[in-house]
Amino acid sequence: MNDTNQRDSFTSKFGAIAAIAGSAIGLGNIWRFPYITGENGGGAFLLIYVLFILLIGITVMTSEFVIGRSAQKNPYGAFRLLAPGKPWYLIGIMGVLAAFFILSFYTTVSGWTLEYVYQALSGNLTGKDNSQLTEMFTEFLNHPWRPYLWFLIFMGFTAVIIILGVKNGIERYAKILMPFLLVLLLMLCIRALTLKGSGAGLRFLFHPDLSKITPKAILEALGQGFFSLSIGMGTLITYGSYIRKKDNLAETAFYVSISDTFVAVIAGIAIFPALFALGGQPASGQGLMFIVLPEVFQRIPFGNLFALVFFILLAIAALTSTISVLEVIVAFLVEEIKMARKKATIIAASSVSVLGLLTVASMGKLSGLTLFGKNIFGILEYLTANIMLPIGGLFIVLFIGWFHKKSLTKLEMTNNGTIRSRYFPVYIFLVRWIAPVAITAVFLYSLGIIKF
């Protein structure tokens, strides 16, 4: 560990929170959260979701930070150092592999946001009804080169920021992008709330109907929080290794989790009032972002401007996430294979792009190539979201709760006893009992083993 003094790190608490929040905040907050909330009763789902973030999300995130900062390593190296001779390092390997898979399909969707920024700038979203917008989206997916070009451009943006490093790349751009993202979201909220009839959307989001609480809603709320916070794939361990020793880990986890939840709720405020005011309904998947919302924007004064703002927002949210995912792979290559950072970034980005371009094609020309009824995109999404991340998150809390010495965990969380730790017994109870049971339930539900 002699090289840890030279290790790159975040230079400030705000920089760390902005970068880690950027990792967590992405397309899932702005698209998936409103959609899942719409499916599960609105306010009642939001209530459960916030409860899970406070009890489970912050707990697991803090555990990943403890592992990362204790070892000052990437996920693989961290488990090798903290549990020498034990197979815990396999969780680190799975995290790096999950990052590889996630980046390939996540950057595919990220590229779509650039296409729609271009379409909004060109004025091509105006004057089209639902069927025309659907046809436009389908034609884009099957275009011979545009989806591939946007994928490569987005991957290029991500790689350039990673090459610049933690201080000059990730932290610097997160400090700019995250506040800008928040400003754009707030602009959309203000516009949505000024629409006649928007109050119905607010009531749907914030007025809990307790009769809507079902076992399915409870498990989906936990799942949304789990995946939204980037838990279980090594990102938080990697970023935790860049957190300064004087910063409070539990406090950082709290601020990141609250920021992530705040952005999701703000996205709901931006979307639900507009949909309800204009007679729309929450839609699923690609439809909500690329078909339904452009139609909604057309019916608003200066709608094309707000469509442009919205897709720029999506692109920024996606970029802060792709940066964090690529960093997991690069940190592994730099620290374990001993590559120079620039070389590691080029190799990682190029390798992901090979699989990523196949993923792009699977939404168009290769859509007929399926396994178990899923195309390449669907296989990668299912494998990571429903299997790899829950297993990773489960073993992380089991490691901290039952294997790692409690005294060492307490030293890391209290900065060697320099800060108070009245919350520590509660944290240990959550990490030993509540988090493992809850994550296991989500995992079994995702696999269809638990059904309601």
**In this predicted structure, what is the pLDDT of residue 452?**
63
Mean pLDDT, to the nearest integer, of 54-58? 93
Pair 436, 397: CB distance under 8 Å: yes
pLDDT at 285: 60
From residue 418, how far is each of 257, 410, 411 by CA, in Å? 24, 11, 9
Q: What is the pLDDT of residue 359?
A: 97
Q: How many CA atoms lie within 13 A of 257 on its CB side?
A: 26
Rg of the chain on CA atoms, in Å: 21
The phi and psi torsions of 73 (rounded to 5 degrees) equal -140, 170
* Residues 353-390 as b or e (16 or more Cβ within 10 Å = b): bebbbbbbbbbbeeeeeeeeeebbbbbbbebbbbebbb
The reported pLDDT for the residue numbered 282 is: 63
- Binned at pLDDT 50, 70 and 90, residue 402 comes out as very high
**Other CB atoms within 10 A of residue 148 CB:** 18
Q: Where are the domains of the chain?
A: 2-446
Cα 376 to Cα 361: distance, rounded to the nearest angstrom? 9
* pLDDT of 284 above 70: no
Nearest to 200 by CA among 280, 264, 272: 272
pLDDT value, residue 187: 87
- Read off the pTM: 0.90
In this structure, which topology does domain 2-446 adopt according to CATH? Amino acid/polyamine transporter I (1.20.1740)
Distance CA 375, CA 366 (A): 8
Mean pLDDT of 2-7: 45
pLDDT at 341 over 90: yes
How many percent of the chain have pLDDT more than 90?
57
Cα separations in angstroms, 236 against 188, 256, 428, 446: 30, 11, 19, 23
Count Cα neighbours of 274 within 13 Å in the Cβ-side half-sphere. 28
pLDDT(2) > 50: no
Q: Give per-residue pLDDT as tens, 59-96.
A: 999 999 999 999 999 999 999 999 999 999 999 999 99
Nearest partner of 330 among 357, 300, 350, judged by Cα: 350
pLDDT for 242: 92
- 221-271 pLDDT, tens digit per residue, is 888 888 789 888 889 999 999 999 999 999 999 999 999 999 999 999 988
Percent of the chain, pLDDT > 70?
A: 95
32 vs 75, higher pLDDT: 75
